[in-house]
Amino acid sequence: MEPMSITEVSPEQLQARLERGDDLLVVDLRQPWEYHAGHIPGAVSLFIEEVPMRLSELPTDVDIVLQCWHGHTSLDVATYLIQQGWLASRIASLSGGIAGWYTPTGCWGWSEPRGDAALARFAHQAMARMAEGDSHAFHGMRRIATCIDVGTMLYLLAHISTWLPRREGTSPYGAWR
């Protein structure tokens, strides 16, 4: 079997297409809580684990741009969709994912300048989920650390303990020893 060639679009290309109003669908493959914390304007949420069960929800007559955190998972899903019958010319992956979207466009797709307030909301949700034992949330926090400036990171670190749910006899990091 020949290796499949997947089209990758840059954040600048995607932004230009969105601004022109091109007929396309941006699919955010991250977890729903990550999507709700902030996403590319107009994107729909379809968690990667749900893709096989929700294929019928994806149109075949418009271009689809798949987006994940860094652009690796979206390449895999693009390959899968093409193997399932979608035209390769209609499927693309956002190069660099949401992290790539942040750097060149200067925002995460949120309304706040640079996305810092929305990023703080995302971190707050991730910290609460980590406290509940959600390992996916840990990976989400690790990923955003590669996408934010030092000032925002210091802000997040200063406020982490105030965001975690506290229970009697526990610290934000687990049971008191």
* pLDDT reported for residue 2: 61
Domain match, 37 and 87 both: yes
* pLDDT reported for residue 106: 52
Catalytic residue chosen out of the listed positions 68, 107, 144, 148:
68
What is the pTM (predicted TM-score) of this model?
0.66
Name the domain count of the chain: 2
Domain match, 46 and 127 both: no
Domain match, 11 and 96 both: yes
Q: What is the DSSP string of the chain?
A: -PPPP-EEE-HHHHHHHHHHT-SEEEEE-S-HHHHHH---TT-EE--GGGTGGGGGGS-SSSEEEEE-SSSSHHHHHHHHHHHTT--GGGEEEETTHHHHHHHHHSS-SSSSGGGHHHHHHHHHHHHHHHHTT-HHHHHHHHHHTTTS-HHHHHHHHHHHHHHS---TTEETTEE--
147 in catalytic set: no
Domain match, 129 and 98 both: no
* pLDDT reported for residue 91: 97
How far is the C-alpha of 33 from the C-alpha of 38, rounded, in Å?
A: 9
Tokens of 115: 């996305």
Domain match, 98 and 126 both: no
Domain match, 46 and 100 both: yes
Q: Could you list the mean pLDDT of each consecutive 10-residue stretch along the chain, which spans 177 residues?
A: 82 92 94 81 92 94 94 93 95 89 54 48 64 61 57 59 51 43
* pLDDT reported for residue 34: 80
* pLDDT reported for residue 46: 95
Of the three residues 80, 105, 130, the one that is the final residue of a domain is 105
Look at residue 1 and tell me if it is in a domain.
no
